[in-house]
């Protein structure tokens, strides 16, 4: 009879092999200790770069200082990544302005559910006596920094984690473990002098820090993704024209990254496109129930119905067509003030662009 595993007999090799068998493409281990990058995070928040994301600045902020706030017995962190790059083209090759652009990570199922299910499958393999906590983008944990420490990649100028062989199209999750395991080492930064992400950003959201490391940071208040996903307010009018037909998120800084030229495609069925670049006119006409049916189990749900309509109005204003006018006139009377404002702005833009 085979001897049962115990918490002391768990090896790094077993854990990482099991993680890959559970569907994780990138796997690494780091210590469950504070990182010096927390101070950089604090400085970023103090400079106002978090914009309206209060969940980054409220009482949960200090919890990010030490992962043991999440699991007091934690000694190691398994950091894992799942690729989501699928077969459809990038926005740079999509020239149909009648279509709404949705960020690649939101084309398929909600990654929170997918990654959590894989971590739970992994947890069932753990020997008795090991305490653990699963974190998938909702717990106060500096996931990218711990992923870097675990050897999964370096943090690029666009603030995405970049893996030399697999690019940056992957979701991250963590499993805190009450067992000490050998750790991986962070890789070197390989962005070099490249500034393609900085140059390509239509709102200049990647800004200099004035420091040597990191030299660049994301200003959320200028970021298309922040305004189309996180914000519930009307977008500043000075930014709207730069949004193009983006209605949820933005991939530009990843699309232009040289490390994504040969990024592998995912075979995971969960991340194959369900709704790729849907027609703007159809999106503007969605009822709340139709929006729920179409997007409830995808990341697009985070924008909420009214936020999504606001974003569709912006896109219609940036690519005006005569057939949009009736639905924009209806949305200009919407109960939500941000939807009303963006619809009225789009009608003004249409009046400038369309011949009498």
Specify the long-range contacts of residues 119-127, CB closer than 8 Å, at least 24 apart.
119/22, 119/80, 119/173, 119/175, 121/22, 121/23, 122/18, 122/19, 122/22, 122/24, 122/175, 123/175, 125/18, 125/22, 126/10, 126/177, 127/4, 127/5, 127/6, 127/7, 127/9, 127/10
**Cα dihedral 319, 321, 327, 328 sign:** positive
Does residue 164 sit in helix, strand or coil? coil
Residue closest to 73 by CA, chosen among 26, 32, 118, 128: 32
Backbone φ and ψ for 27, nearest 5 degrees, come out as -140, 135
Q: Which residue in the list 14, 66, 137, 189 is annotated as catalytic?
A: 137
DSSP-derived pairing of the beta strands 246-248 and 101-102: parallel
Q: Is 170 exposed, middle or buried (0-12, 13-18, 19+ CB in 10 A)?
A: buried
Give 355's contacts (C-beta < 8 A, 6+ positions apart). none
Peptide bond into 86 cis (omega under 30): no
Q: Is 199 a catalytic residue?
A: no
CA 13 to chain centre: 29
Residue closest to 316 by CA, chosen among 97, 93, 104: 97
C-alpha to C-alpha distance for 247 and 311, rounded to whole angstroms: 5
Residue 153 is given by DSSP the state -
C-alpha to C-alpha distance for 298 and 218, rounded to whole angstroms: 25
Give 102's contacts (C-beta < 8 A, 6+ positions apart). 247, 248, 249, 275, 276, 277, 278, 300
Residue 58 is given by DSSP the state S
C-alpha to C-alpha distance for 293 and 216, rounded to whole angstroms: 39
Q: Which residues are catalytic?
A: 137
């Amino acid at each position: 009879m085979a001897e049962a595993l115990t918490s002391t007999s768990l090896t790094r090799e077993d854990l990482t092999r099991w993680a890959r068998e559970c569907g994780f493409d990138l796997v690494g281990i780091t210590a469950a200790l504070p990182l010096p990058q927390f101070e950089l995070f604090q400085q970023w928040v103090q400079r106002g770069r978090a914009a309206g994301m209060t969940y980054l600045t409220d009482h949960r902020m200090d919890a990010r200082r030490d992962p043991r706030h999440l699991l007091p017995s934690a000694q190691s962190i398994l950091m894992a990544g799942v690729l989501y790059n699928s077969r459809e083209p990038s926005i740079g090759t999509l020239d149909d302005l009648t279509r709404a652009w949705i960020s690649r990570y939101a084309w398929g199922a909600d990654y929170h559910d997918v990654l959590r299910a894989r971590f739970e499958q992994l947890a069932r393999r753990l020997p008795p006596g090991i305490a653990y906590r699963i974190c998938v983008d909702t717990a106060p944990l500096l996931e990218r920094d711990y992923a870097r420490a675990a050897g999964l990649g370096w943090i690029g100028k666009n603030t995405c984690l970049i893996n030399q062989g697999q690019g940056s199209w992957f979701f991250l999750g963590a499993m805190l473990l009450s067992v000490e395991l050998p750790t991986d080492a962070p890789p070197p930064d390989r962005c070099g002098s490249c500034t393609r992400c900085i140059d390509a950003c239509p709102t200049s959201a990647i800004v200099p820090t004035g420091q040597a490391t990191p030299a660049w940071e994301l200003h959320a208040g200028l970021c298309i993704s922040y305004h189309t996903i996180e914000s519930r307010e009307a977008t500043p009018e000075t930014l709207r024209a730069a949004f193009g037909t983006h209605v949820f998120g933005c991939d530009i800084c990843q699309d232009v990254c040289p490390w994504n030229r040969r990024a592998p495609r995912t075979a995971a069925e969960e991340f194959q496109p369900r709704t790729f670049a849907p027609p703007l006119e159809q999106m503007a006409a969605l009822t709340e129930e139709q929006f729920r049916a179409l997007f409830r189990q995808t990341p697009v749900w985070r924008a909420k119905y009214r936020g999504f309509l606001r974003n569709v109005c912006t896109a219609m204003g940036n690519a005006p067509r005569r057939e949009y006018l009736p639905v924009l006139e209806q949305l200009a009377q919407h109960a939500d003030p941000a939807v009303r404002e963006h619809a009225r702005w789009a009608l003004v833009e249409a009046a400038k662009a369309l011949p009498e």
